[in-house]
Structure 1
Amino acid sequence: MGGGAELTVAEPIKGDVGVVRLDRATMTYLGVKPGDYVTVVGELLSYAHVKARVEEPLPEDEGKAIIRLAADKMLEGGFVEGMRVIVYKSWLKTLMTSLIERHKKVPIKAPKIIPREETTASQVNRAEGKPHTPLRSKRSPIT
């Protein structure tokens, strides 16, 4: 996984919602694939910041070092066309995915339940010939 990739914001594609489109070289550099999440931030002294899902690039965008943000993400993050941005692999989504994978529920077969009458202490005492003694209170007698 590389560091951040510096790209230029291009015109959004009509119909895209909540996604960014990166060329394959950038996806390889960042270590992401379509469906993963990236964080897009503006360069120095910019408040622009957004997280979005990666989608396949347009064929004509290959090798141009551009990013196509969906119109809703451009508004959400405060991006404009021609703006220089830095794109990082989103660590939070990666962390959540790895934790979910690590802690998947494993089905466990329950053991056979032993019937109660086989395990009661009174039956064991009767079998050994001992009298049944009830539990006594630990309180001292009142005098």
Structure 2
Amino acid sequence: MRFTRILTVAVAAAAATTLVACSGGDDVNDAAANTDAGEQKVIEMPDQPGSVEGYVGAADDAELVTCDPQGSALEVEGTVTNPESDDQDYRVYISAMEGGETMGIVQVDVSNVATGETAEWSTEMALTGDDLECVLRVERF
């Protein structure tokens, strides 16, 4: 009976953790705000990935040109090239990674990229570190 009670408590704790992890984006921003100043994460993502109806993953359309720490910021630049027969909008999520940990995520929207054209985008994150790497998630719609 004691084992059953322990198992029940463990399952309830796991369920509560899952619910907290799956809750809205405000919790992510609150968690970032509550970290030590030296460990503060950058999260500037007004839209949830995959939130636009009819989006298509478009990593092949994007190129990362620069992911470079400059002073007190990580400067990131890239391009998107539209291979479709109609104008396209792009949403690029840039994750700054350090040793497998996400240090920041920023969203960049690129609108009305004409057929066959390439558009440049850029952003920066208030992050420093020599080991930061950038990872892109790209959506086309």
TM-score computed with the length of structure 2 as normaliser = 0.30
Q: Which has the larger radius of gyration?
A: 1
Structure holding more strand per residue? 2
Query: What's the TM-score once normalised by structure 1's chain length?
Result: 0.29
